[in-house]
Structure 1
Amino acid sequence: MHNKAIEEVLKELNTSPFGLSQEEAERRLKRYGLNEIEERKESVWAILLRQYTNPLILILVVAGFLALLLGDWKDSVIVWGLVLVNGLIGFYQELKARASIESLKKLTRQKVIVIRDGKEMEIDAVFLVPGDIVLLSEGDVVPADLRLLEEAGLLVDESLLTGESVPVEKYSHVVLPEDTPLYERVNCLYKGTVVVRGKAKAVVFATGRQTQMGLMAEKLEEKPPESPLTLALRDFSKKLVVGLVLILSTLVLIGIAQGRSWEFIVFFAVAQLVSAVPEGLPIVITIALVIGAIRLARNNVLVRYLPAVETLGSATFICTDKTGTITEGRLKVEDYIPLNEEELFLCSALCNDSDGKKGDAVDLALLEWLDEMGFNWLGIRSIFERVWEHPFDTKRRLMAVVVKSDKGYKLYIKGAFESLSKLAGNSLNVLQEKHDHMAKRGLRVLAFGYAELERIPEDIDSVKIELIGLVGFLDPPKKGVKEAVERAKKAGIRVIMITGDNLLTAKAVASMVGIYQEGDFAIEGASLANYSDAELYELLKRTTVVARALPEDKYRIVKVLQSHGEIVAVTGDGVNDAPALRVADLGVAMGSGAQVSKDASAMIITDNNLTVIVQAIMIGRLIAQNIAKVIRYLLSANGFQIIYNSLAIISGMPLPLYPTHILWLNLVTDGVVDKAYPFTKYEGDPTKEKPKRPQEVFLGKKQIIYILYTAIICALGHYLLFSYILSKYPYELALSISFTSSVVSLWAVGIQEISSKPFLLNPIEYVRTNPYVYLGIILGIVLQALAVYVFEDFFKTVPLDVEHLQYTLIMPVVVFLAIELRKWVEWLYNRKAW
């Protein structure tokens, strides 16, 4: 509608300045529907079901059925119990987060003044229809997408939609080209924006999902990317299933060929399958994520989608908006040039409609500045009585008042430098130079002037003024943002500021907080169309500011970065940010932002500050590090058992671990140790590390090498030990020694996996890194003692005396020292490299 004259618009909408009839409005309501954006909520059952679709969980369910078919109902109950508890924890956490989001929503409906049947009336905004004539005044929220018919001094805050922090002047009789971007459509008003000043009469041309806000909501239905951990585990699960089926099938065939009982060997395979599938992994990961979510909550971050917690630590790019995240979202006087300071202060106080609490952002900023300068503006207003005013004129961009003075009257005026220059009688050379310098710094500059009069003027053009100074305004950066940017850069995370503001302002703010530096690129959103996706990616690697960005620009930037393997965190608070928030690897909305942006995000920060986001990323790195330790420990333990039993079957030896031993190992090693890893403190400084791809962190080459190193040493060592003690002691006794040695060895592995640093480098600090692991081992010792000395019939063990216990300690010491040696070699190598 921005490209059509008022008469065309009214004709196309089949309406008039006198509005629709009530009957016609009701007919259109049935046709177009309510003026609201319906939310498509995920059902509670869908959330619950999603908790049980993880591939590892499905493997465990199948393993539970196999155990049940073979008559081992106890193992089935244990496995299914773990599955149930894991799912319920995730389900509870998501419901709790969703309830917190709901509490943030406004419960009241918006009212609006419309003209129907030629009369003004107040209705709920949800009942607006295309063709309705709406009346707006200062402070009103625009209820639908409107085309202006009339306006008087209209200023609108469109930051929610466009990201532009400065209110926009609106004009009704302008007809614009069809390709005019959203932020330049000065003859239209859009749903969700706010009237800062002036009055307007406008016609509704779009409601509900047809509004700009609604069209963006459509994009929110696009499925967000899965978390890196989910993708890594899915890939791992497929390989694990194939590998286990091949290995265990081969072992069963070998066992049967050797004449072993097929029932026994199949039961062994099932027990090995249950043991080899790290059933503790999903629940430990959930615990790590929940603990991470609690830590984040203490840092003003509300987690809506739990798997997103681990994504934090992998972020390589932060695409942040400016207003409200980097800046305070309000104007502040940054600099001023006085030619007559006293008159400049008087003009700032008297040519001002704010009461210090509400009003235009510029007027509020001026009063705050006067307070800081120690100027009593309230007292001055009581002395000088206002007798005439020229309200803010959006076309001429100025405002003037006349007050009584001892000598007659004084006129005070403020506005754009270009506008006041035409009325000025004094020299402008000095001020022109100062004005241009301030503008290049990205400041919004206003000129101030005054004139002494003998009588009240008929109009502003009849007055010759004297310019008395300039004042530059800026939306100031928030405290701590600069330090946060430095921290992010140090941690290898690139920060791109994407804003609807003009390029000069954007660069100025970005420079203040260290985002933009000499040599960086700063571009406007309109120029992005000139680049292919491949070219744009190369450009984005050197770009730190994207100004005049539209929602589709931000959306495309995120998609391009993701297509090249980047993990992208996006911050935003407006409707314009919602599409990018939805498709980002990690969408972070502001607590004070639009509801649609919160619904599109994975997290909400209650303190709208980039500092919080960077801190959250550091917490995310700790979470990812601890999850990696859990994976490494569990897979090392499971790999050891498979290799150990495989060697015995292939060589024709009796089984060194009974099926019940294999299942018990999961309880007294994995079960009591792995649950403690999420409480491990961070090693070193997270900001000194570069981002790592999630697959590399969780199941990368280095991780696999560590797992195989530990598993092979454990398996070979125990195989040789079992061969020896089998020649010395009866099978039952050798089996008990092998069983207990395996348990203690995995405790040794558990201690070594607490940290990547050598244990002997600083044993006290090592213990402090995570004391809960040792508490878990103490519990495991009690359980193992019960298995060997109390329930020996159930576990097919015999009590061990001091002589036998000595053999159970040989391999734990060997395994501990072997891992310690690997750590020392790596630590010395890295130290030399530094």
Structure 2
Amino acid sequence: MKFNGLSSQEVIESRKKFGNNQLTQIPPDPLWKKIMHGFKDPMIMILMVALIIQLVLFFIGQAEWFEPIGIFVAIIIANGVASVSESKQEGKAIALKAEEEAMESAKVIRSGDLTEVHVSQVVVGDIVFLQAGDKVPADGEVISGNIKVDQATLNGETEEASKVPMIQGETYDIKDLLNKHYVYRGTVVCSGEAYIKIKVVGDKTLFGELALEVQEDARETPLQVKLAKLAQQISKFGYIGAICIIAGILLKTVFSGNTPADVYGWIRLLIDSITVAVTIIVCAVPEGLPMLTSILLSFQSLRMAKDNVLVRKINGLETAGSLSILFSDKTGTITEGKLSVVEMAIGNGKTFSKISDMNKIFQDDIVAGIGINNSSEASMGRVIGGNSTDRALMSFLINNGKADHINHENVLQFNSFDSQKKYSSVVLKYADKNITYIKGAPEKIIERCKYYIDEYGAVQPLSEITLLKNYMDRQAKRSMRLLAVAKVNGSDDTAPNLTFICVISIRDDVRKEAITSIQEVKNAGVQVVMVTGDRKETAIAIAKEAGLYTGKDDVVLTSAEMAEMSDEELKMLLPNLRVVARALPSDKSRLVRIAQELNLVVGMTGDGVNDSPALKKADVGFAMGSGTEVAKEAGDITVLDDNFSSLEKAILYGRTMFKSIRKFLIFQLTVNVAAVLTCFIGPLLGENVVLTVIQLLLINLAMDTLAAIAYGTEPSLKEYMREKPIPRSANIISKKMFTQILINAFYITFICLSILFYPPVKELFGDVDITYLKSALFATFMMAITFNGFNARTEHINPFEGLGRNFTFLVVMCSIFAVQFIFVTFGGEVLSVESLSAHSWMICLILAFLIIPIDMIRKTVTKLCNF
């Protein structure tokens, strides 16, 4: 049939009326906008308030210049690192996408000539010529020819869909992807040739609609929720502590009888009190926390990139560690995403998984029956052309070293697969006879078989048909696709009395590593639900093999069954849900929504356009590297190697990050609580200034920044995958952490104040002045919180366990010891300190080190009490 297609003028008119074939792309936020958005973070906002306070104090002469500068640097680093890292990751993804799009073209008939244009130039009314391997450029109707199309990008199905022209009077539903006359953008032609007439272009295609749907705002990550709550708690603690300190200093002054003689004295006392109180507010804020989060996100992102995981949206990583439910696509994620031969059974029921285990006669028949009788070809160890079934058979021959035995020289006739006969055939010419090999649907072939070849190559009567049928029933329940192979003397593929060769079981195999990874993820307390377009029986078989379905209390639902349920009914079943079969794109989005309404942290994996809306709505979306660009755009994390085990790594890295944040908080909040208590109780005991403003700020800045680096490089430990997920609503500070912070802060407060006020401890330093004792107090305070850093880094009783795995931690802690030695030895009048003797340093060191055995006792008690 001759087609003229559109003229140049008609193309222009169509483009004006219906638009072009470009998909709308909302560009990512520029770097400056990401940075500005970062200032909305609650922890950054508190730091901004602290910065303003410090600037005011600096301008009235109550603060040094480096104090506001230090906080400003912390803000810039914290906000900038995460923004720059995310911007770079997005840049890489955009570059890859642009490179791929530049190569997309379509064969279009214009003014009677076949020409090649860029996909974006296709318009409504164009006649597009499609061949095997072509990607459909826009939605349209088949008007000539017939093709088989892989629609997995849209519906997740590995089975190819046949597309043929519509007969007059026929109708079809374009929303039904299995209709036989309409093709969709993004799908791939597997075999055949056809002409289609474009009906819809650009954003109005099904592909385009789904691409637009994914560009929605996401909800706050679990860490953002927890940090917002923590920010409120820290603010209250700081303000209450500040008020108490002001009140304590004023009350102590009044009751001690040392009241100022004049108004100026009172003003000076009030300013000093407020200065200390404001410093406590500043010290109560762990400004290193946002910086730690940024360091962790960037550091873990780089580590994951080496494991073939691209973190596109930086917050997706920390969310992965909090996952409580994971909705996983089947094809290409749990399974390999391609058909492969599992085994072959002969007429007496014996099975073989390798060709080499068969008789030589049998081997020759297999090569001819599935290798020569095949629409694909083997070239240099690769399969070229053919449909998915033929490619699987050819791959099987290549893997068994038989591809070189395929010889087409004696082929008389090849009859490709006939949908009416449901088989393909090939006639081979030998010296004295012709032999026809037939390959196709078992129900069409086995009923014509009178003989079979046994394992020794001898021809036997096929009397045990029931045995063969029972075997095929068992294989069907294992989600196998069955294919029979037979032969007959002569050139007639319709002849009776066939000789049965074998029945071949083909399946999209479960990834071996996925089975292990799924178990690891389940052990981590994450519920895994497989969502697939397969029929229920097939889905159950795959789920059983993957270790998802045990059959006890596990629930399997189809899309139709879900549609009949209310949201409340589905919520009741969700905890036991393991498989959703015959799933539609809308089902995936509904599942994500319902799980989020139950306050679960939801993950979704996928590779097709059909997965994109759910990938976007989920708390963290894992897109497969071989998937569509729309899916990658929607996902937070792209798994470049399509490997389920990468999901396990993402969860582990996310949990490592969360653990590091908690370790840092234990360390830093212990510092803050100890500082507030020391500065509050000290004046009540008779000393207005225990730690000076400069000392407090130096402690705060040194500990915050250096500790952020130390905990930001903590290694990922497999033991984290044996813990249950942290609920979205849970506080970031657990009861165990709270206890640890208070006990250790109380001890630090006690030993520091003992140096000033408890004679047995005070006398250890000899006959010295108050400045010397305050210097010892300052040194002890810094060393104690440094030693407490070892307590904070592990929940194991031994604080030094596995210390060699984080060399950076050791370097940082040694640096803190060096810094505090320099502060005390050379600080002089600026830091209000005196240099200490070796004897005094030893006493300070022993008092500070005692925090380690004290915390070991606490850990032992909490483990025994299962607290």
Q: TM-score, normalised by structure 1?
A: 0.90
Q: Which 5+ residue runs of structure 2 have no aligned equivalent?
A: 254-265, 348-360, 452-461
Q: Which of these residues, 77, 80, 87, is aligned with residue 88 of structure 1?
A: 80
Output aligned runs, 1:369-768, within 5 Å.
369-373=396-400, 375=402, 378-382=405-409, 384-387=410-413, 389-420=414-445, 429-453=466-490, 467-519=500-552, 520-649=554-683, 653-681=687-715, 685-693=719-727, 696=730, 698-724=732-758, 730-759=769-798, 763=800, 765=801, 767-768=803-804
Q: Does 1:252 align with 2:246?
A: yes
**Contact in 2 for aligned 1:624/1:697 (Cα 8 Å):** no
Retained in 1: the 8 A contact 2:713–2:806?
Answer: yes
Supply the distance in 1 between the matched residues of 2:83 and 2:314 (Cα, whole angstroms): 10
Find the counterpart in structure 1 of residue 138 from structure 2. 144
| CA shift for structure 1 position 770 | 4.2
Q: Secondary structure at the match of 1:685?
A: helix
1:323-368 superposed Cα distances (whole Å, 9 cap, x missing partner): 2222222211112233494545422122212112212222222223
Q: Which amino acid aligns with 1:628?
A: R
- Counterpart of 1:9 in structure 2 is none
Aligned counterparts of 1:515 and 1:180: Cα–Cα separation in 2: 34
Question: What is the CA–CA distance in structure 2 between the aligned matches of 1:28 and 1:687, rounded to whole Å?
Answer: 57
- Counterparts of 1:13-162 in structure 2 under 5 Å? 19-44=5-30, 45-71=32-58, 72=63, 73-105=65-97, 106-152=100-146, 154-162=147-155
3-state SS of paired residue (2:510): coil
Deviations 1:107-145 (A, max 9, x none): 424222334445544332212222323221211111111
Inter-partner Cα distance in structure 1 for 2:370 and 2:21: 42
Which stretch of structure 1 is more off in the superposition, 536-545 or 132-141? 536-545
Residue 8 of structure 1: aligned partner: none
How far apart are the structure 2 equivalents of 1:676 and 1:412? 69
Deviation of 1:626 after TM superposition, in Å, equals 1.5
When residues 144 and 101 of structure 1 are mapped into structure 2, their CA distance, relative to the original with a 3 A threshold, is: same
Q: 2:211 corresponds to which residue?
A: 217
8 A Cα contact 1:759 1:766, kept in partner = no
Q: Which moved more, 1:732-741 or 1:60-69?
A: 732-741
Quickly say closer, same or farther: Cα 1:800–1:587, change in 2 above 3 A.
same
Verify the 8 A CA contact 1:176 1:185 in the aligned structure 2: no
Match of 1:167 in 2: 160
Partner SS for 2:505: strand
Q: Which residue of 1 aligns with 2:375?
A: 353
**How far apart, CA to CA, are the structure 1 residues paired with 2:143 and 2:447?**
30
Question: Closer, same or farther in 2 for the Cα pair 1:544/1:582, shift >3 Å?
Answer: same
Greater mean deviation of Cα atoms: 587-596 or 127-136: 127-136
Partners of 1:132 and 1:766 in 2: CA distance: 66
Give the Cα separation in 2 of the matches to 1:168 and 1:405.
37
Aligned match of 1:322? 330
1:538 counterpart letter in structure 2: M
8 Å Cα contact 2:79/2:290 also seen in 1: no
Q: Tell me the secondary structure at the aligned position of residue 509 of structure 2.
A: coil
C-alpha separation between the residues in 1 aligned to 2:709 and 2:731? 19
Q: Supply the AA of the counterpart residue of 1:442.
A: S
2:559 partner amino acid: G
1:367 is aligned to 394
> Which piece of structure 1 moves more, 474-483 or 779-788?
779-788
1:194-343 to 2 correspondences below 5 Å: 194-252=188-246, 255=249, 258=253, 259=266, 261-339=269-347, 341=362, 343=365
The CA deviation string for residues 535-560 of structure 1, in whole angstroms up to 9 with x for no partner, is 22332322222222122212221222
1:806-829 CA distances to partner (integer Å, 9 max, x unpaired)? 663465245333322211212344
Report the secondary structure of 2:408's partner residue.
helix
Counterparts of 1:367 and 1:632 in 2: how far apart (Å)? Answer: 59
Structure 1 262/527 Cα, relative in aligned 2: closer, same or farther at 3 Å?
Answer: same
CA contact (8 A) 2:488 2:495 kept: no
Q: Deviations over 1:378-431 (max 9, x none)?
A: 44423x2233x4332335433233333344533332222344468667776554
Matches of 2:717 and 2:477 in 1, distance apart?
Answer: 45
2: CA distance, partners of 1:362 / 1:587: 31
Q: CA deviation at 1:673?
A: 3.5
- Contact conserved, 1:344 with 1:449, CA < 8 A, in 2? no
> 2 CA distance for matches of 1:643 and 1:176?
83
Query: Secondary structure in 2 aligned to 1:497?
Result: strand
Q: Give, in whole Å, the separation in 2 of the partners of 1:309 and 1:413.
A: 52
Write the distance in 2 (CA, Å) between the matches of 1:333 and 1:125.
Answer: 36
After superposition, give the CA deviation of every residue in 1:591-627 in whole Å (9 maximum; x if it has no partner).
2221111111111122211112113322322222121
**Contact between 2:367 and 2:406, CA under 8 Å: does it hold in 1?**
no
- Separation of aligned partners in 2, 1:107 and 1:26: 23
CA distance in 1, matches of 2:170, 2:470: 33
**Separation in 1 of the partners of 2:606 and 2:191?**
25
Amino acid at match of 1:88: G
Change in Cα spacing, 1:405 to 1:429, as seen in structure 2 (3 Å) is farther
Measure, in 1, the Cα distance between the counterparts of 2:408 and 2:476.
Answer: 31
- What root-mean-square deviation, in Å, do the aligned CA atoms of Structure 1 and Structure 2 show? 3.0
Of 60-69 and 370-379, deviating more is 370-379
The partner residue of 1:824 within 837, 857, 860 is 860
The answer to whether the 8 Å contact 2:249/2:688 transfers is no
The 1-side partners of 2:544 and 2:696 are apart by 60
One-letter code of the match for 2:36?
A: L
1:796 matches 2:832: yes
> Aligned residues: percent identity?
28
Residue correspondences, number: 806
Q: For the Cα contact (< 8 Å) 1:97–1:304, is it kept in 2?
A: yes
